[in-house]
Chains A and B, each alone.
Chain A
Amino acid sequence: MAALLEVEHLRIEFPTRRGTLVAVDDISLQIAEGEVLGVVGESGAGKSLTGTAIIGLLEPPGRIAAGEIRLMGRRIDNLPYEEMRKIRGKQIGAVFQDPLTSLNPLYSVGRQLVETIQTHTDMSPTQARTRALELLHEVGIPAAERRIDHYPHQFSGGMRQRVVIALALCVNPKLVIADEPTTALDVSIQAQIIALLKRLCRDHGTAIMLITHDMGVIAETADRVAVMYAGRIAEIGPVRSVIKEAKHPYSHGLMGSIPKINDEKERLDQIEGSMPRLTEIPPGCAFNPRCPHVFDRCRVERPELLDTGVTQASCWLYAHG
């Protein structure tokens, strides 16, 4: 099956006074139609930047310095603003971290839904409102007929995130980029929101790029997972394989940090040190100062994504196999 989204050799830079910061360096990944790709990695790994680049909203001075992004075979990373605007919302939706601040406080949720629907379709105001009501029902807002005219501050955090999801999905995009959609929410409702997102996308055949720190969410939700480290992909592959038998030493360590019942030893298996800052990424493999298996080649030559059997990992341990 042809991929819905293809990212190839993406590189994102920030020109600064003291030279160019490379925040995302040579990332390639694909998402198939209806697939859920989880993206994990430490803070600052470049997850959000990758997502932002895909929807074409990198803020200057950040820019795509190299690589290509294609949606259904069409190149979208170099489109004029107006062309890309028509793709945002219509073909690629987005859900951000903080539902409390994602909605305009001065407009009712109904108005914001209707506005989005009318931007991307020819619906009349009445049709758009009917559709907005349907959506609110679908995302599980109780008494939607009444709630549609309420303002964002009248909803709880979880309810607001449901509205945000309705907004992201309101014209059935092919892909949704969900950047830590539940981090800001109460733990007790995080699972509901993820389940909702997953159910809706499955029903409509929408693919999801799910950025999160929560390996538990990845394990339950994603089909495949990409592990990012210092602006690069450390390992990418089917979620089961990456969790159970991660090949890259970094993802192995990361998976070790998932709390497991009856397994106290695993929990202690944390990786020493921390991810380097963008200005201090070492030559060769970015992970080499922390890697328990580091050898000479790792310090000079940068590993490409290599086949490890089921997953792909950028690690020299797999150079000959």
Chain B
Amino acid sequence: MFAYIVRRALQSILVMAAVAFVAFALFQYMGDPINQMVAQDASAAEREALRRTLGLDRPFYVQFLVFLKNLMTGNFGFSFRIGTPVAQIIAERLPATLELVLVAALFALFIGVPAGVYTGLHRHGAMSRFMLTVSLIGVSLPTFLIGILLILIFAVLLGWLPSFGRGQTVQLGFWSTGFLTASGLKALILPSITLGLFQTTLIMRLVRSEMLEVLRSDYIKFARARGLTNRAINFGHALKNTLVPVITIAGLQIGGLIAFAIITETVFQWPGMGFLFITAIQFVDVPVMSSYLVLVALFFVLINLVVDLLYFAVDPRLRVERSVSAH
């Protein structure tokens, strides 16, 4: 098991290095940033001076090494557009995105898993059919359309919920949270539903099909033959086995939420990293763009590691096979 963890850690480092390289390469292909930063009539000497202060005159590989070193020390450079440190901009935007993703993920898990279990157990019920039909909408409608529909109904027509922004936030150290005010919580509802709906329906359908599969298995038949109660069979035996494959997909999907947040944040003008990224693209603000890429990759890698560890916790077959092969 130890060897396995080491191997996974090495893989993660490789992935991060590759992403860092892509993020760095962005700088080379996005046109000359100097053009964005100086006035139209700046002289060649002025441009050259700026180039040198930003370190853009040095060879490619040196720039990359410097870039890596800076990343590791949390120095993400300065925004080409507003000139403030990227780290600071991200620190301002990160809480908004993470809170949105967290609520969307909880929504997807706490609605998706029970709905999947329910529709798996009551395969032929009217309620199950209804839920499956509704879930088709979640899978097939594009996110921005769902967001706009929700805004139309709940913000414009009914006026119950805000159509944009985070509402009031409370500052806890560097972290600005929307969890502590009523308007902050209200503002989270529509965006997190919009963001999480696809994942909710996906998890629900996945849990359902896994559940059906597991319920057909021999050990469930044998559990029935032993006279175990339905509750023990459905939730003790079937659900736990269902979760083994669900964990991977759910983990990947939650990582995906961070990426999908770009669309939701744009629709709801949510002041998070996705929104920041879109603005950065418009202004070819390469340091912001590349830092965003690196951060999102980091979240993916971390989530994958957590998924792997969860696997070990749930499935004894993995735990033992490793330890057996170890001696």
Contact = CB atoms under 8 A, between A and B. Distances in A.
Contact of B232 (A55, A108, A119, A154): A119
Contact of A116 (B219, B227, B321): B227
A106 B218 contact: no
Contact of A89 (B217, B227, B240, B321): B227
A88 B227 contact: yes
B316 A151 contact: yes
Nearest to A81: B230
B218 A102 contact: yes
Nearest to A102: B222
A73 interface: no
Given A151-B320, A153-B320, A154-B320, A105 B225 contact: no
Given A57-B221, A96-B218, A89 B241 contact: no
A120 B219 CA distance: 19
A119 B226 CA distance: 9
Contacts of B69: none
A103 B219 contact: yes
B226 A55 contact: no
A94 interface: yes
A115 interface: yes
B226 A57 contact: no
Nearest to A177: B225
A119 B236 CA distance: 13
A214 interface: no
A128 to B, nearest CB: 14
B227 A104 contact: no
B322 interface: no
Contacts of B221: 57, 96
A253 interface: no
A105 B317 CA distance: 8
B69 to A, nearest CB: 45
A116 B226 contact: yes
Contact of A98 (B218, B229, B241, B321): B218
Contact of A104 (B219, B224, B225): B219
Contact of A96 (B222, B317, B320): B222
Interface size band for B = 20 to 34
Given A96-B222, A164-B222, A106 B227 contact: no
A151 B317 contact: yes
A87 B228 CA distance: 10
Contacts of A247: none
A231 interface: no
A45 interface: no
A106 B226 contact: no
A125 to B, nearest CB: 15
Contacts of B217: 101
Given A85-B229, A119-B226, A104 B316 contact: no
A119 B228 contact: yes
Contacts of A81: 230
A83 to B, nearest CB: 11
A102 B219 contact: yes
B252 to A, nearest CB: 22
B223 interface: yes
Contacts of A137: none
B227 A167 contact: no
A89 B237 contact: no
B225 A57 contact: yes
Closest 9 CB pairs of A and B: A89-B227, A88-B227, A94-B225, A101-B218, A89-B226, A151-B316, A102-B222, A104-B219, A116-B226
Given A86-B227, A104-B223, 18 more contacts: A55-B225, A57-B224, A87-B227, A89-B228, A94-B225, A101-B219, A103-B222, A105-B241, A106-B241, A106-B244, A107-B237, A108-B316, A115-B228, A116-B226, A119-B226, A119-B228, A119-B229, A153-B316
14 contacts: A81-B230, A85-B229, A93-B225, A96-B218, A96-B221, A101-B217, A102-B222, A106-B315, A115-B228, A115-B232, A115-B236, A116-B226, A151-B320, A168-B225
